[in-house]
Structure formats: C-alpha cells, structure tokens
C-alpha cells in the first residue's frame, strides 16, 4: 500500500470517527430532552391522580376509584418503561 493511500484511509477514518461522535452527541441530547419532556408530565399526572384517589377533592365511588387505579397503574408502567429505555441508552453510551 502506498503512503498516499494510507494517508487517505487515515483521513477517512478520522472523518468517520468525528461523525460517530457527532451522532452520539445528537442521540444523547435527544434522550435527555425526551426524558425530561416525558417524565415531567407523567409525574404531574401521577400526583394528581394520587390526590384524587386519596379523596382530597372529595369522595369517590368504587367505580371511580377502580378507573383511577387502572390509570395510575398504567402511568406507572409507562414511567418505568421510559426509565428502562433511558437506562439502556445510557449503558450503551458508556460502552
């Protein structure tokens, strides 16, 4: 292999590494923003549903409690899925 070919390959490799770093930074920023934009409203919704379930705004009948408990459980599942996804992306970044 000629010296010029080696230098060209080296430059291509450097460009590819820079692009990988750029894409990694974009992914990291995306995950961070998605995390904030999803978890913040979910936390607010969970707290609101919990307050209603505690009867703070007034008494609930059994059917209302049942529906709110279903909603709360599904919100918690969604929140856990988001946290698991973020943990996965963070662990991938560390590799």
Residue by residue, pLDDT tens for the chain (95 residues) are 788 999 999 999 999 999 999 998 898 888 888 888 888 899 999 999 999 999 999 999 999 999 999 999 999 999 998 888 888 877 876 66
Residue 68, pLDDT score: 95
Residue 71, pLDDT score: 95
Residue 46, pLDDT score: 93
Residue 54, pLDDT score: 93
Residue 95, pLDDT score: 65
Per residue, the 3-state secondary structure of the chain, as one string, reads CCHHHHHHHHHHHHHHHHHHHHHHHHHHHHHHHHHHHHHHHHHHHHHHHHHHHCCCCCCCCHHHHHHHHHHHHHHHHHHHHHHHHHHHHHHHHHC
Residue 33, pLDDT score: 86
């Amino acid at each position: 292999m000629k010296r010029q070919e080696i230098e060209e390959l080296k430059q291509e490799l450097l460009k590819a590494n820079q692009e990988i770093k750029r894409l990694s930074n974009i992914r990291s920023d995306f995950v961070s923003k998605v995390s904030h934009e999803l978890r913040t409203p979910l936390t607010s919704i969970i707290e609101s549903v919990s307050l209603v379930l505690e009867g703070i705004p007034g008494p609930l009948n059994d059917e209302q409690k049942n529906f709110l408990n279903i909603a709360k459980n599904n919100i918690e599942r969604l929140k856990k899925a988001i946290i698991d996804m973020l943990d996965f992306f963070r662990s991938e970044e560390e590799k």
